[in-house]
């Protein structure tokens, strides 16, 4: 065989091989990374205006993607907000309206949906369970663990799990034990650092396959505790009620340590050459809390600025959360969007990014807003709803466009233009009784769709 012919054959083989790799690469579904903060206020991050401390990694991620200024959670406490995000369904439709409700095993999570599309899935952080609603759910968990009586994350689509299963311990910043899969193991260190290490390891092990990585951190939830070296960066730089107990500096440390954890995950994605094919979402489960466990930090530091309210309320401070999406080549970089997004939209939108749609039998409430993420079209007009009917703090709310109806305990109706008046100081209900009546009618119709367990 002549030398020229050999060269041509080798060249053809090389080109065919390259083409094969290209085709395979094009067929690979995008990786999806969902990073979830806990009790983080809209105003706690630099990309939303925080200046008392820096969040350079989150800010850089926002500059590489699009940040959403009107991104709403679906509930104002931990379990309902997470259940709504994982199922794409309102609280009244997925069985989790209270903090001690357990997600029914019959509900399909985004992890289960993505596994059907060939994804490897993992959860490192907080899985918030409550009490099982059915004996079947309890028996399902006992079969795997021999002890617990709730639905485990590995029963609902996650191949790997490391973290907290229940709310009772999910405020421990320096836990002595955590769940690794279905086994309780001893641990040492700062919880969010441990979750980050597991996330980084997962990324390295799964670089050659499509994955869904869900990292629900516990910062800044409840106990205001952080690594001492992180607190030292803020000590003396913030006003304190008692300088000997730097609560505000410690809260700042919670946020900046969270930012560093996000940075480690994103750097790993970059170093593995996965950036262009990885969709990253960052948000918080609901607004910051001013409750006793927070020791006044979020209140003193105005974590929900410029909004009124907090966790467990349906004013903007409770329901509007920081959010960004980064997906190079798909989601525009450096863009700020005022489109109204909702936590239930994540399920159908992430599934759309994977090239799939929810099964109609799942009855997902959220919308596929991928066209809005990519800048191709606007989110369709709709009315969003909230309910918080637990712990004696009853509120209902409905949002349509810029106008939001809030019905407080006792039935008082308040109406706000949350664009012109984001602090919800000027009640428009007396001027627009027809709007109040219309939104209230829609709200009551929505409540009638509640699915009873």
pLDDT tens for the 453 residues of the chain, in order: 444 443 433 344 333 333 333 333 447 899 999 999 999 999 999 999 999 999 999 999 999 999 999 999 999 999 999 999 999 999 999 999 998 888 999 999 999 999 999 999 999 999 977 665 555 544 444 443 333 457 899 999 999 999 999 877 788 999 999 999 999 999 999 999 999 999 999 999 999 999 999 999 999 999 999 999 999 999 999 999 999 999 999 999 999 999 999 999 999 999 999 999 999 999 999 999 999 899 999 999 999 999 999 999 999 999 999 999 999 999 999 999 999 999 999 999 999 999 999 999 999 999 999 999 999 999 999 999 999 998 887 899 999 999 999 999 889 999 999 999 999 999 999 999 999 999 999 999 999 999 987
* CATH code of the domain made up of 29-380: 3.40.720.10
User: HEC states along 172-241?
Assistant: CCCCCEEEECCEEEECCCCHHHHHHHHHHHHHHHCCCCCEEEEEECCCCCCCCCCCHHHHCCCCCCCCCC
Give me the residue spans of the domains in the chain: 29-380, 394-453
- Selection from 421, 220, 420, 218 nearest residue 301 by Cα: 220
Q: What beta strand segments (E) does 101-159 contain?
A: 120-129
> Residue 325 forms beta bridges with which residues?
66, 281
Secondary structure letter of residue 442 according to DSSP:
H
Long-range CB contacts (within 8 A, 24+) of 174-178: 174/225
CA–CA gap between residue 307 and residue 42 (Å, rounded): 8
CA–CA gap between residue 264 and residue 193 (Å, rounded): 10
Judge whether 78 counts as a catalytic residue. Answer: yes
Q: What is the pLDDT of residue 382?
A: 98
Classify residue 374 as exposed, middle or buried by CB count within 10 Å of its CB (0-12, 13-18, 19+): middle
CA–CA gap between residue 24 and residue 34 (Å, rounded): 25
Provide the token pair at 371: 């066209």
Secondary structure letter of residue 92 according to DSSP:
H
Helix (H, G, I), strand (E, B) or coil at 248: helix
Are β-strands 395-400 and 383-388 bridged in parallel, bridged antiparallel, or unpaired? antiparallel
Q: What is the pLDDT of residue 131?
A: 61
Annotated active-site residue in 128, 129, 198, 234:
128
DSSP 95-164: T--STTBPPPTTSPPHHHHHHHTT-EEEEEEEEEE-B-SSHHHHHHHHHHHSS--S--GGGTT-SEEEEE
Provide the token pair at 347: 């399920």
Q: What is the pLDDT of residue 309?
A: 96
Alpha-carbon dihedral sign for residues 190, 259, 213, 364? positive
Annotated active-site residue in 78, 198, 234, 342:
78
Q: What is the pLDDT of residue 149?
A: 53
CATH topology of domain 394-453: Arylsulfatase, C-terminal domain (3.30.1120)
Contact 397, 406 (CB under 8 A): yes
Q: What is the pLDDT of residue 163?
A: 97
- Selection from 109, 66, 89, 41 nearest residue 279 by Cα: 66
The backbone region for 367, taken as left when phi is positive above 0, alpha when psi lies in -120 to 50, beta otherwise, is beta
Contact 196, 33 (CB under 8 A): no
Helix (H, G, I), strand (E, B) or coil at 32: strand
CA distances from 395 to 312, 375, 388, 391 (A): 9, 34, 5, 11
């Amino acid at each position: 065989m002549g030398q020229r012919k050999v060269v041509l054959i080798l060249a053809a083989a090389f080109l065919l091989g390259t083409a094969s790799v290209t085709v395979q690469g094009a067929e690979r579904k995008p990786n999806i990374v969902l990073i979830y903060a806990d009790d983080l206020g809209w105003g706690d991050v630099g990309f939303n205006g925080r200046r008392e401390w820096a969040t350079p990694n989150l800010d850089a991620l926002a500059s590489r993607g699009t940040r959403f200024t009107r991104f709403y959670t679906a509930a104002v406490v931990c379990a309902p907000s997470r259940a709504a995000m994982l199922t794409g369904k309102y609280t009244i439709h997925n069985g989790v309206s209270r903090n001690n409700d357990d997600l029914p095993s019959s509900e399909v999570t985004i992890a289960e949906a993505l596994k059907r599309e060939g994804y490897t899935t993992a959860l490192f952080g907080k899985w918030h369970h409550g009490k099982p609603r059915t004996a079947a759910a309890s028996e399902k968990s006992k079969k795997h663990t021999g002890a617990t009586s709730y639905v485990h994350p590995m029963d609902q689509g996650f191949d790997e799990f490391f973290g907290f299963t229940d709310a009772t311990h999910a405020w421990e910043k320096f836990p002595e034990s955590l769940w690794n899969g279905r086994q309780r193991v001893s641990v040492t260190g700062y919880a969010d650092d441990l979750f980050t290490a597991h996330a980084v390891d997962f990324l390295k092990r799964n670089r050659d396959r499509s994955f869904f990585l869900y990292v629900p951190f516990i910062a800044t939830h409840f106990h205001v505790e952080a690594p001492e070296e992180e607190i030292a960066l803020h000590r003396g730089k913030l006003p304190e009620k008692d300088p000997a107990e730097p609560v505000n500096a410690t809260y700042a440390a919670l946020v900046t340590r969270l930012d560093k954890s996000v940075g480690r995950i994103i750097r790993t994605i970059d170093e593995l050459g996965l950036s262009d094919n990885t969709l990253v979402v960052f948000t918080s489960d609901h607004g910051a809390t001013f409750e006793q466990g927070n020791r006044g930090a979020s209140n003193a530091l105005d974590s929900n600025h410029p909004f009124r309210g907090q966790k467990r309320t349906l004013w903007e401070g409770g329901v509007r959360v920081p959010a960004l999406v980064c997906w190079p080549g798909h989601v525009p970089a450096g863009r700020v969007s005022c489109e109204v997004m909702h936590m239930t939209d994540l399920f159908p939108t992430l599934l759309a990014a994977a090239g799939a749609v929810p099964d109609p039998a799942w009855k997902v409430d959220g919308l596929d807003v991928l066209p809005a993420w990519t800048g191709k079209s606007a989110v369709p007009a709709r009315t969003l709803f909230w309910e918080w009917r637990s712990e004696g703090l009853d509120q209902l709310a409905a949002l349509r466009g810029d106008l939001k109806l809030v019905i407080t305990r006792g039935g008082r109706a308040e109406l706000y233009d949350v664009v012109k008046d984001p602090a919800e100081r000027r009640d428009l209900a007396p001027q627009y009784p027809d709007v109040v009546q219309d939104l209230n009618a829609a709200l009551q119709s929505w409540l009638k769709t509640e699915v009873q367990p």
